[in-house]
Amino acid sequence: MILVISAVEGIQSQTLIIAKILQKLKIQTLIFINKIDRAGAKDDELITKIQTKLFPKFVLINTVDNIGTPHAKTTLAENLSGLDITKEQVSKMEICPVVFGSALTGVGIFELTDTIEKVLPAI
């Protein structure tokens, strides 16, 4: 399951409800933080809230430069060098991958699709 969170609006009440249901039903989850190119977008603050309110164990697949501007771009996270996220870890919900991007501009979509292919179990 891909849980989409707006980088502008952040974690809303329905996001909390959906995340709790996903965890209760043990549905493997990947978080896509969308709208990184919009004014008011947040990254560090949002990541802290994801950790405290949604999934305490997560891994950032990419990071954002120039967040909140039309020039926002992503780069693979430095912590990925040597880190092997497996389908098994995601299936057991030991870790939740988090990907930044913009559905409108396509930024971060490669990282999203690559992560889906590599770590989410096939249906």
How many separate helices (H) and strands (E) can be counted in the chain? Answer: 4, 6
pLDDT of residue 99: 95
- Domain holding 29, by residue range, is 2-119
Q: For the domain that residue 71 is a member of, what is the CATH number?
A: 3.40.50.300
**Of 87, 86, 95, 94, whose CA–CA distance to 60 is shortest?**
95
What distance in Å separates the CA atoms of residue 7 and residue 41, rounded to the nearest whole number? 5
What distance in Å separates the CA atoms of residue 28 and residue 35, rounded to the nearest whole number? 23
Residue in this structure with the two tokens 């891909």, named with its chain if needed: 2
What's the pLDDT tens digit per position in 26-73?
888 999 999 999 999 999 999 999 999 998 888 899 999 999 999 999
What's the pLDDT tens digit per position in 68-109?
999 999 998 866 544 567 778 887 888 889 999 999 999 999
pLDDT of residue 77: 80
Query: What's the structural domain count of the chain?
Result: 1
